[in-house]
């Protein structure tokens, strides 16, 4: 007999991407160096007037003037390059290949060792007659197809596609709607207590804090994750144990 107080087995598990499935800071740092090297070869007047850091500072200043660009970090970087090219008198047509070069490096991520085996194991956790749906929600601009991981996800939503970003409930609800599940039938997994855990819970999903770094949970945030896991192994064990 089903216990009505016991949460139902989830029909969907949704993931954050950056810093949940792979570390992102070193990737962005390397991508910015790769972009700067491209500028030195193909847009030398831009490179002569800027360093990697000054380009970053110019983007931050642009973001202050146009905060809506926070929803599309790729567009923010593109706009920053257009401004730098105009300032240097470089051909703006070169911005497109510059961005393509950056995105290729930005998507050269290395998943944490537990991720790919974990996604494979997750795919086998469905109930008879119904597989477990897997999706992603991100405020960033990772391209799962370019990364080579798109086959693991039924739905992948990003802030720049919807015009809303985590922790706005709308992006979580949109992902649930795309998967055809109710919010209470989904579990969201992410590394950020406020953007991921609180955001998902406020939208009606259960939420797991994937705390790979062993950070302390700050009580002043008033967030109580449904589970705290250090890796995919613990996450999958929690799913199996809690909803067996």
**pLDDT 10s digits, 18-58:** 999 999 999 999 999 999 999 999 999 999 999 999 999 99
Question: What are the strands, taking DSSP E only, across the chain?
Answer: 12-15, 133-138, 155-158, 186-190, 206-210, 227-229
Helix/strand/coil for 215:
coil
- Is the CB of residue 33 less than 8 Å from the CB of residue 40? no
Domains and CATH numbers, the chain: 12-22+111-242 (3.40.50.1000), 25-106 (1.20.120.1600)
Q: What angle do CA 194, 199, 205 make, to 5 degrees?
A: 130
Average pLDDT over residues 115-131: 82
Query: pLDDT class for 8, splitting at 50, 70, 90?
Result: low
Averaged confidence pLDDT in the chain:
93
SS3 assignment for 47-80? HHHCCHHHHHHHHHHHHHHCHHHHHCHHHHHHHH
pLDDT for res 243: 63
- Smallest CA-to-CA distance from 141 within 84, 75, 67 is with 75
- Is the CB of residue 76 less than 8 Å from the CB of residue 70? yes
Q: Give the pLDDT confidence of 185-195 residue by residue, as tens digits.
A: 999 999 999 99
User: 30: which 2 tokens?
Assistant: 């390397």
Q: Give the pLDDT confidence of 72-106 residue by residue, as tens digits.
A: 999 999 999 999 999 999 999 999 999 999 999 99
Average pLDDT over residues 123-133: 75
Q: Give the pLDDT confidence of 134-186 residue by residue, as tens digits.
A: 999 999 999 999 999 999 999 999 999 999 999 999 999 999 999 999 999 99
Q: What angle do CA 71, 74, 80 make, to 5 degrees?
A: 105
């Amino acid at each position: 007999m089903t216990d009505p107080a016991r949460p139902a087995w989830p029909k969907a598990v949704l993931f954050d991407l950056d810093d949940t499935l792979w570390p992102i800071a070193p990737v962005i740092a390397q991508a910015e160096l790769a972009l700067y090297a491209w500028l030195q070869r193909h847009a030398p007047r831009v490179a002569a007037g800027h360093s990697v850091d000054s380009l970053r500072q110019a983007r931050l200043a642009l973001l202050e003037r146009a905060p809506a660009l926070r929803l599309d970090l790729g567009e923010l970087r593109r706009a920053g390059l257009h401004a730098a090219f105009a300032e240097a008198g470089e051909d703006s047509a070169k911005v497109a290949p510059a961005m393509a070069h950056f995105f290729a490096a930005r998507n050269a991520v290395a998943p944490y060792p537990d991720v790919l085996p974990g996604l494979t194991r997750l795919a086998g956790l469905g109930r008879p007659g119904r597989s477990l749906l897997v999706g992603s929600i991100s405020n960033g601009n990772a391209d799962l197809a370019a990364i080579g991981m798109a086959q693991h996800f039924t739905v992948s939503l990003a802030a720049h596609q919807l015009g809303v970003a985590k922790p706005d409930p709308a992006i979580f609800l949109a992902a649930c709607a795309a998967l055809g599940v109710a919010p209470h039938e989904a579990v969201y997994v992410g590394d950020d207590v406020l953007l991921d855990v609180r955001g998902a819970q406020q939208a009606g999903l259960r939420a797991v804090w994937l705390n790979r770094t062993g950070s302390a949970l700050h009580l002043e945030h008033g967030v109580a994750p449904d589970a705290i896991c250090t890796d995919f192994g613990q996450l999958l064990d929690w799913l199996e144990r809690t909803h067996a």
